[in-house]
Structure 1
C-alpha cells in the first residue's frame, strides 16, 4: 500500500488508487445523508446502477448462481452480496488502472489519502457505534426464551447457538458493546484515531472469527470492517514499527493534521462533526433507548389468563381420531410452549406455522374472558391460523377445542414443572467441583 513519503512507490500509488475506488463503492459516502428526513432513500437509489451491473456481470462472467438472491432475510452473505463484491473489485481495478494511465502523473496523493482516511474513520466510527450501543443496551442478542430452552441442543444451527451463548450473559454483551463504542469515540478525534484503529483491529478480528467459526452470515461485512481497520493502521505503519519494534522515538502523526486557511472552512468542519455526533451518536442512542424501553416493558408481559410455561400434550385428537404419543410421528404435537409476551411454539413439524429448529412458532392472543384463544404466524396478521375454545377450569391444565386450518382439533395440555438451570444465571467465585 501507500507510503507516507514525498514519493510513493509505483505499487503504492496503484494500490492506493484501487483501494480508494473500492472503499468509496463499498462504504457509499451517501450513507451519511440517510438520517436527514426525506433523504433516507438516496443511498440505496444511488446503488441501483451498481445492482444492475452486478446482475449483468454475474450472467456474463462470475456465474456464482443461476439466479442471484438479493433478499437474504437478514443474511449478508447471499449470492448477490458475493457477486456485488466481485463487481466492486472489478470496478476498483479498472478504475485504478484508468486513473494510472489517464490521470495526472503524481508521485503521491497526500490530500486524497487524508480525505479517504477521514471518510473511513467516520464510517467505521458510525458503524462501530451503531453495533456497540445496541450491545450496551443488551439488545442485539437476547436471553434464550422458553421455546429455545425447550429445543434440543443438537437441533440448533451454530449461528443460533452462538447468539444464545452471547445473549445469555448481559455483562459480556455489554462489555463487547463498550469496546465497540470505545472504537467509535477514539476514531472521531484526530489525536486518538490511531488508538481507535488499533482497538478496532482487535474488536473486529474477534467478530470475524465468531462469524466464520459459527457460520454467522455477516462474513462479508465484518471482514470489510476488519480490512478497513487494518487499512487505517497501515497508514501509520512506519511510526508503529519504529516505536514497537525498533524502540525508537517517533514524531507525532501528521496524517490527520490539516490546517484550514479560511474561517468558514474551520466552521464547516465543526458543523459537520456536530452533525455526525447528532446523527450517529445522538439519534442512534435515542432510537435504541426507545427500543430498549419498549422491549423491557413487554418482555415479561403475561397474557392473562394463560399461564406461561411448557405444556405436555396428554391427548391429541385430530379430525375425530385420537393420535397416540410417538417420537416417530413428527405431525403429532409433543408439547406446547406459551411464553411471555404472547409468543409460543409447538414441538411438531407443522408447515402452516413458522418452523425453526424443529419447532413450529406462533403468537397467541386470548380473549378478555379467557374462553377463546387465537394463534397467528405474526401479530400483524388479520386472520388467525388457529382458533380454539379454551377450558382453564383445572389449574395447570388447558383444554383446546377448535380448528387449525382445515383440521378440527381437541388437545389436552398439562403444565410441566420444568426447571431450566440455565435460567439461574449462575456465577460462583468458589467452585468445589466441575459442573
Structure 2
C-alpha cells in the first residue's frame, strides 16, 4: 500500500510541475491593466483618465476604461467599474474619465482598458489621480502611460495582459500592436478583434462533445461501483472483478471527497488548502494541454458546482483512479480481500453523504435554500425565467414541501450508523436521485455533486444488492443484511472513535441548526424588511414637464422594487433592468441613488407616500423627472394569495 501511495504522489507532483504560466484561450473580450499601491485612513476619490476610440461595424462592440480596488485580505470587495453601462462607441479620439473611491480597507488600485467583439480599438494617454487630504487631485506616476514602448508578442511593456498582476492571459481573437495614430507622443495601443461570434468563449460551443465525455466517465464509474457487488466483508476471498472495482472506487471516491468536499467535513478546508492549490494547477494543465479547452479555466467560487474547472477535477481524479487501479492490480494481485480498507472507504462515504445531505436538509426545513418567491419573480413572466429560476420558484412557493424535502434529506443521517446504513442508503438513494433529476432537467449547476451522491450511495448498497432485490422483488426471505465489521482496534481507540463521532454529530447538528437559524434572521423569512418594502408600479411618468407616452422609451420606468436593504431594482418599460445602491431617509423622505455604485456619483429622489401610493421627484443629468406609483404587496398576486383548499369544485389552473 505504501508503494501505491508513493507512486500516486509522484505522478501527482510530476504533472503539477507541467502547469503553464502563460495561458491562451478564446473569448469575446480582452483587457490590459496596471496597478498601484494605495493607502489611506479616510475615504478619498480617484480618477482614471484615458483617450479611447474604436472603428467597427459590429453593433455589439464597445470599449471602456476600467478600474478595480483590491482590498486587504478579508476586507470584502472594493470599487469596480468597467463602463459597461456607458460603453464607448465613438470613432473619434475623446477623453474619458472614470471616478471611484478608496478607503482604509483598500490595498491596490488596478486600472486599464477593455474592449469586446470585432473591430479596431485604440487607447492612449492613461493618467491616474488620487485625492489628497485637502481635496486636491494629485497625479500618480504610472509606467508607459502613452505606450511609447513598442508592443512585442501581444505584450504591452509595463502593462499586464489581463485583469490580475502576474497572470499572462492572451486571447486568440485579439491582436495587440503599436500604432502611430495617437493623441500624445508618437504611438498608441491598437487592439484588433477578429472572427468573434456569439459562440466565442461559450463552453458548450468550444467543447461540443463534452456531454458524451462526461456521460462515458459516469457510466464507467457506475460499472466499477456495481462490480463490487461480488464482494462482501463477510467473505475472505473476493472475486477478481470485485477487487478491481474496489480498488478503483477506493481511489476515486477518496480523491473526490478530498478535492470536492464542499464543506461536508467540519473544518476540512483548514487542512485542504495546499492540496486544493495543487489540484488547481493540475486541473488547469489537464484542461488546457490534454482536453485542449480553448478558453480561460476559472477556479474561483461563483455559486456554480459545474464549472469547467470542476469537470477538469473530475477528469483528473478519474484518470488517476484508472492508472492507480492498474498499478495496484499489478503489484497487489495476490491479496484476496480489503476488509479494513473497505471499512475506511465506507466510513468516509457514509459521513460525506450523510453530513452533506443533513446540511442541505436543514436549510430546506427553514425554507432558506428555496425561499418564497421574491417580488422580482412575481413580476416576471414565465417566459423570461430560466429553467433554474422556474424550479426555484416552484420549490420555494410551498413552505410545507420545503419541510418535506428537508426531512427526507436529513434522514440521510441514518448512514452515520452502521446498523441503519442500508435503510439510510435506500432512503438516500431515492432522495438523491430526485435531487439529481431536478439538477439535470432544470439545468441547476449542482449536477456533479448530486451525481456523486447517487454514485456513492450505490456503492454503499452494492454489497447488499442481491439481498435487497430478493426482499423487494422476489419476496425471498433474507436472514440478515451485511454489517460492516470494524477493524480490531484496541479499547482506547474504540472509545476515542466514539467520542470523535459524538463530537462530529454535535457539531454537524448543533452548529448546523445554529447557523441556519441565524441565516434565517439575516437572509430568510425573519430578516428585517427595508423601508418602503414592496413593488411600486409606475402609473404616470413626466420628464421636463412632458408626460411620457412612448412605451418603447428607454427612460420610462415600469416599476421600482424595494426588497433588500440599501438596494432597489428598477425595471424599465423596454424590459431593461437596473439595480442601484440606495440610502433611504424616511424622515426627510429622500432616496439617494448611486448609479455607478460609488459615493461621488449620486442623485436624490424626493418622495411622498400615502397609503398604497408613492409620488416622486428628482433631477438627473439635467432632466427634471416626476412620477406617480401604486404599491403592490405579495398579497396582491394570485400565486401568493390563492392558498390551500380542501374542496375544489373545478380545477383552478391559471
Q: Same fold (TM over 0.5)?
A: yes
1:327 and 1:211 map into 2 onto residues whose CA distance is 38
Aligned to 1:354: none
Superposition pairs for residues 66-215 of structure 1, below 5 Å? 66-71=295-300, 73-103=302-332, 105-184=334-413, 186-215=414-443
Consecutive unaligned residues of structure 1, counting only runs of 5 or more, are 351-356
1:321 and 1:62 map into 2 onto residues whose CA distance is 61
SS of the counterpart of 1:144?
coil
Aligned to 2:561: 337
Q: Provide runs of 4+ in structure 1 moved above 6 Å.
A: none
1:194 and 1:85 map into 2 onto residues whose CA distance is 27
2:609 and 2:489 map into 1 onto residues whose CA distance is 82
Cα 1:153–1:297 shift into 2, 3 Å: closer
1:186-234 per-residue CA deviation (whole Å, 9 max, x = no partner) reads 1112111101011111001100111111111111111111111111111
Q: Choose from 5, 8, 11 the match for 2:241.
A: 11
SS of the counterpart of 2:272?
helix
Cα 1:199–1:387 shift into 2, 3 Å: same
Whether the 8 Å CA contact 2:248–2:322 is kept in 1: the answer is: yes
Q: Choose from 590, 596, 605 the match for 1:372.
A: 590
Aligned to 2:570: 346
1:88-126 per-residue CA deviation (whole Å, 9 max, x = no partner) reads 111111111111122362122121112101110011111
Q: Choose from 578, 601, 605 the match for 1:360.
A: 578
Shift of residue 62 of structure 1?
A: 1.2
Q: Choose from 475, 497, 509 the match for 1:281.
A: 509
Q: Tell me how many residue pairs correspond in the alignment.
A: 418
Shift of residue 166 of structure 1?
A: 0.7
Matched, 1:399 2:598: no
Q: Choose from 481, 485, 488 the match for 1:257.
A: 485
1:71 and 1:323 map into 2 onto residues whose CA distance is 48
Structure 1 window deviating more from structure 2 (271-280 vs 411-420): it is 411-420
1:316-348 per-residue CA deviation (whole Å, 9 max, x = no partner) reads 53xx59583444334532222233755431113
Superposition pairs for residues 222-241 of structure 1, below 5 Å? 222-241=450-469
Whether the 8 Å CA contact 1:300–1:340 is kept in 2: the answer is: no
Cα 1:33–1:77 shift into 2, 3 Å: closer
1:269 and 1:416 map into 2 onto residues whose CA distance is 59
2:632 and 2:521 map into 1 onto residues whose CA distance is 31
Whether the 8 Å CA contact 1:33–1:42 is kept in 2: the answer is: no
Q: Choose from 647, 651, 654 the match for 1:430.
A: 647
- By percentage of residues, which structure has more helix? 1
Aligned to 1:244: 472
2:499 and 2:381 map into 1 onto residues whose CA distance is 54
1:194 and 1:117 map into 2 onto residues whose CA distance is 12
1:285 and 1:307 map into 2 onto residues whose CA distance is 29
1:63-95 per-residue CA deviation (whole Å, 9 max, x = no partner) reads 244221323621111111111111111111111
SS of the counterpart of 1:28?
helix
- By percentage of residues, which structure has more strand? 2
Aligned to 2:253: 23
1:415 and 1:385 map into 2 onto residues whose CA distance is 28
TM-score when normalising by structure 1:
0.87
Q: Choose from 530, 537, 542 the match for 1:311.
A: 537
Cα 1:322–1:75 shift into 2, 3 Å: farther
Consecutive unaligned residues of structure 2, counting only runs of 5 or more, are 1-226
Cα 1:348–1:70 shift into 2, 3 Å: farther
Shift of residue 349 of structure 1?
A: 8.7
Shift of residue 430 of structure 1?
A: 0.6
Aligned to 1:324: 548
2:360 and 2:412 map into 1 onto residues whose CA distance is 11
Larger Rg: 2
Say what the alpha-carbon RMSD is for the aligned residues: 2.9
SS of the counterpart of 1:369?
coil
